Amino acid sequence: MSIISGKKILIGVTAGIAAYKTAFLVRLLVKAGAEVKVVMTPAAKDFITPLTLSTLSKNEVFSSFTKEEDENQQWNNHVELGLWADLMLIAPATANSLSKMASGNSDNFLLATYLSAKCPVYFAPAMDLDMYQHPSTKDSFQKLISYGNIMIPAGTGELASGLSGEGRMAEPEEILKFIENHISESLPLRNKKILITAGPTYEAIDPVRFIGNHSSGKMGYELAKAAAIMGAEVVLISGPTHLTDPGFGIEVIRVKSAQEMYDAAHEHFEKMDAAIASAAVSDYRPKNVATQKIKKNSENLILELQKNPDILASLGERKKEQILIGFALETENEEENALGKLKRKKLDFIVLNSLKDEGAGFQKETNKISILFKGGEKKDFALKPKKQVANDIIKELIGLFHA
pTM as predicted: 0.76
Active site residue 367: no
Confidence class for position 67, pLDDT limits 50, 70, 90: low
Q: Which CATH architecture has domain 8-185?
A: 3-Layer(aba) Sandwich (3.40)
Mean pLDDT (whole number) for 142-149: 96
Asked if the model's pLDDT at residue 197 lies above 70, the reply is yes
Mean pLDDT (whole number) for 13-28: 96
- Over the stretch 241-293, which tens digit does the pLDDT of each residue have? 999 999 888 999 999 999 999 999 999 999 999 999 999 999 999 999 999 99
pLDDT at 68: 59
Mean pLDDT (whole number) for 139-153: 96
Q: Tell me how far the alpha carbon of residue 388 is from its chain's centroid.
A: 12
Q: Is-same-fold flag (8-185; 193-289+305-401)?
A: yes
193-289+305-401, what's its fold?
Answer: Rossmann fold (3.40.50)
- Over the stretch 339-350, which tens digit does the pLDDT of each residue have? 999 999 999 999
Asked if the model's pLDDT at residue 86 lies above 60, the reply is yes
Lowest model confidence (mean pLDDT) among 79-83, 134-138, 339-343 = 79-83
Looking at 213, 300, 337, 353, which residue is catalytic? 213
Asked if the model's pLDDT at residue 307 lies above 80, the reply is yes
Domain ranges in the chain?
8-185, 193-289+305-401
pLDDT at 2: 77
What are the φ and ψ backbone dihedral angles of 211, each rounded to 5 degrees?
-100, 130
Mean pLDDT (whole number) for 163-190: 90
Between 11 and 71, name the one with better pLDDT: 11
pLDDT at 155: 87
Between 232 and 329, name the one with better pLDDT: 232
Average pLDDT, the chain: 91
